[in-house]
């Protein structure tokens, strides 16, 4: 039987929590006098929360004490989690359940590879946690994308070689990480943003079971 390792990012791929990050980061930035747009938020996708706050401070040319920095990080996560705690299966992005079910039927190993430290609670909320054979999240990794650590650990957890893995990502940093790891990269989102991916689809409704089958047997 042909087997490939299928690795999925979480935010913007499985569920749309990117908007919740945007709301929380915008509130934080404006609380310290820094304007924050949806375009700014694009640069934080797939980036750890500490690095994200460092970027915001750089944009605003602002320095904070370590205590204030930690206070803001905690407040941002609390705001984000207040949205997450209200999540239901309605938050799953279109056709994700079909793709996961098809791969499960084909007995393909699947992992989540996300920088989020809230990945397990989100997957539990939307009732998808049992679809994955391995979950590598922000609690398992120390290096943020575009470092490939999260995907290499996911491949290892699936007992697959990196070259036998396929990554679904919505962020440029994640696509870079997958490419560096020697994996097939599939972008979910805007072709102009994710042009470094080997394939790009607007969303999973554009990904046919036949395409998935071809990936498996390639």
Residue 134 pairs with which residues in a beta bridge? 111
Residue 41 parent element (H or E): helix 38-42
Residues 6+ apart with CB under 8 A from 218: 4
The candidate with the shortest Cα–Cα distance to 46, out of 178, 135, 153, 161, is 178
Q: Which residues are catalytic?
A: 9, 11
CA–CA gap between residue 120 and residue 137 (Å, rounded)? 8
Task: Specify the 3-state DSSP secondary structure of 187.
Answer: strand
The candidate with the shortest Cα–Cα distance to 17, out of 153, 125, 149, 148, is 125
Classify residue 93 by its DSSP letter: P
Classify residue 212 by its DSSP letter: H
């Amino acid at each position: 039987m042909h087997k490939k390792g299928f690795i999925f990012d979480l935010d913007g791929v499985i569920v749309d929590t990117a908007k919740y990050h945007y709301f929380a980061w915008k509130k934080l930035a404006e609380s310290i006098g820094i304007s924050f747009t949806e375009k700014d938020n694009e640069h934080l996708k797939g980036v750890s929360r500490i690095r994200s706050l460092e970027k915001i401070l750089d944009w605003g040319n602002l320095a904070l004490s370590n205590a204030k920095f930690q206070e803001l990080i905690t407040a941002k996560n609390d705001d984000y989690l207040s949205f997450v705690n209200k999540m239901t299966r309605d938050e799953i992005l279109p056709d994700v359940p079909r793709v996961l079910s098809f791969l499960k039927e084909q007995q393909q190993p699947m992992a989540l590879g996300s920088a989020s430290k809230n990945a397990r609670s989100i997957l539990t909320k939307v009732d998808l946690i049992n679809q994955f054979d391995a979950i590598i999240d922000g609690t398992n990794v120390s290096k943020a994308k575009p470092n490939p650590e999260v995907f290499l650990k996911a491949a290892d957890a699936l007992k697959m070689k990196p070259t036998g893995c396929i990554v679904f990502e919505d962020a440029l940093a994640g696509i870079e990480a997958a490419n560096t790891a020697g994996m097939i990269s599939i972008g979910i989102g805007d072709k102009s943003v994710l042009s470094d991916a080997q394939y790009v689809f607007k969303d999973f409704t554009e990904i046919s079971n036949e395409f998935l089958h071809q990936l498996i047997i390639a």
